[in-house]
Amino acid sequence: MKFTELGLVPEILRSIADQGYETPTPIQAQAIPVVLAGRDLMACAQTGTGKTAGFTLPILNRLAASRLTGPRKIRVLILTPTRELAAQVEESVRTYGAHLPFKSLVMFGGVGMNPQISALRGGIDILVATPGRLLDHAQQRNVDLSGVEVLVLDEADRMLDMGFIHDIKRVIKLVPKTRQNLLFSATFSDEIRTLAGSFLVEPEYVESERRNTAPDLVRQYVHKVDRERKRDLLVDLIRDNGWYQVLVFTRTKWGANGLADKLLKAGIEADAIHGNKSQNARTRALANFKSGKLHVLVATDIAARGIDINELPHVVNFELPNVAEDYVHRIGRTGRAGTEGSAVSLVCVDENKLLHDIERLLKKQIEVVAYPDYAPDPSIRAEPILMRSAGTRAGQRSPGGRPGSGGQRGNSPRAPSGTGKPAVGSHRSGSRHH
């Protein structure tokens, strides 16, 4: 099946083609027809399966097929548990709606409300929000949800784990009773089924394959290091070991740029790919990386979704992902086609909980290897990492005046599945980038 066979409008097909995709992932192939048909949906899908595009594409198609006149009203409400995921989903909306006239807004806490209020007053079609901040705006009567046609609960299991059940129920009371409902969860627990039963109407059920196992041929290990010394350690690792083809993951696109610049200044051929790079720039960087002209490719999760190199020897987690499943997706790019690979993670004190979450998912501890002269300073205390990237210096502001990470898709972006642009299915030959 091709995307062209799903009945999507030409503007959306053009956006999909812009990203180099032509074949949907399994969850997309199952979910898109259900959403296009207007049915309620209960989908079991983990991060990395392309689930985000599985609902953003048909939702955009619905809006495009029934464009309204008059003042803009919020027609789609997408709830997510975290600011990172909210930013990731909203970037997906913008990516696949690039050739459509719709406006979207991402809304989460931890930042000022006034810019969000201003955007709401200007009129939007699609709102992506975390429950708490949305209810703050609702209480102050800043947001009107009376026109919502589609309600999406993304990563519903995480929302329940984080104690959002009462917030979710309050939000449901604010939207029209007649609407389309979509629920995505990594598990179908009893709690999720109870929640689904309270607002889904005769839903269709779809499920994608689980992805919580790491490749057997990948040697995984951790170097503990202070956050401010990660860049220097990466340079020494590449030089000391003679690494010639290294895929490096950062949390944000600004961090990816900063790290690539650092490597270039150290005499290491490097480039960055992320959602802010043009398609031509991403294509060129990936081609140079595959040919060996480029020794290091620094990528955000979303931008790296389409990277498929059979004999990639080294993956480096310069920063651990916020979602444990994304770690498995990252390191799965090495150890392919019967060849061995290595996956090294540079872990600072801020990331110990993320490391624990990954080990819990893998059901094993990852070997910690000390690197000479880089033992961490035990006096350094952990700092929050949600709004900061080790790829940018502490306190450095990112473009637009926001601290360098924000909710930007762990990439801000991470491919429709994860790097800003959600991963949408497989790529065309010769265009395997995101």
Q: What is the pLDDT of residues 301-360, one digit of tens each?
A: 765 655 666 678 899 999 999 888 778 878 877 765 556 789 999 999 999 999 999 999
Cα end-to-end distance, the chain, whole Å: 21
Domain boundary among 180, 207, 234: 207
User: 70 near 40, Cβ under 8 Å?
Assistant: no
The answer to whether residue 419 sits within a structural domain is no
Q: What is the pTM of this model?
A: 0.57
The dihedral sign for the CA sequence 118, 121, 123, 124: positive
DSSP reduced 3-state for 136: helix
Closest CA relative to residue 60, chosen from 425, 300, 416: 416
User: 249 near 409, Cβ under 8 Å?
Assistant: no
User: 217 near 340, Cβ under 8 Å?
Assistant: yes
- In single-letter form, the type of residue at position 268 comes to I
Q: Is the pLDDT of residue 87 over 60?
A: yes
The answer to whether residue 434 sits within a structural domain is no
The residue whose two tokens read 């059979």 is 310
The answer to whether residue 416 sits within a structural domain is no
For the segment 93-104, the average pLDDT, to the nearest whole number, is 95
Q: 134 with 247, same domain?
A: no
Return the higher-pLDDT residue of 63 and 433: 63
pLDDT of amino acid 406: 34
Closest CA relative to residue 103, chosen from 87, 118, 82, 122: 122
For residues 298 and 23, give the distance between their C-alpha atoms in angstroms, rounded to a whole number. Answer: 26
Question: Residue 190: how many CB atoms within 10 A of its CB?
Answer: 8
CATH of the domain at 173: 3.40.50.300
Q: 195 with 254, same domain?
A: no
Q: How many domains does the chain have?
A: 2
For residues 49 and 415, give the distance between their C-alpha atoms in angstroms, rounded to a whole number. Answer: 10
Tokens of 193: 């089924």
User: 316 near 344, Cβ under 8 Å?
Assistant: yes
The answer to whether residue 337 sits within a structural domain is yes
Phi, psi of 353 (to 5 degrees): -70, -40
pLDDT of amino acid 213: 52
pLDDT > 70 in the chain, percent: 83
Domain span including residue 281: 218-411
The answer to whether residue 417 sits within a structural domain is no
User: 403 near 387, Cβ under 8 Å?
Assistant: yes
For residues 371 and 427, give the distance between their C-alpha atoms in angstroms, rounded to a whole number. Answer: 38
